[in-house]
Amino acid sequence: MTSGDQIDIVDTAVVVVRPTPCVIAGQLSPAGAQAVFRWISLNTDALVAYWEGQIDTTDLCQVLKPLPAQQTMP
């Protein structure tokens, strides 16, 4: 639930990928949820292939796409 490069299990949210991304446990801020849902949309095929055992972790890491940089209004 808190952005960063470390994980604390008590500070996590669980999000389903299919059929539509949504939070099923924990909480995300509206902006955080929007970012997670956009990232899932970019990576659904890879996430599902990994979950179903069609690709391994190395393959997953190679195909995951980052969110594009946000453009700000002047």
- Dihedrals phi, psi of 54, to nearest 5 degrees: -80, -25
| pLDDT for the residue numbered 58 | 97
Per-residue pLDDT tens digits for 9-62: 888 999 999 999 999 999 999 999 999 999 999 999 999 999 999 999 999 999
| pLDDT for the residue numbered 54 | 98
Give 54 or 69, the one with higher predicted confidence: 54
* In the predicted structure, residue 73 carries a pLDDT above the cut 70: no
| pLDDT for the residue numbered 70 | 72
Cα–Cα distance list, 18 to 11, 43, 52, 71, 73 (Å): 23, 12, 13, 28, 33
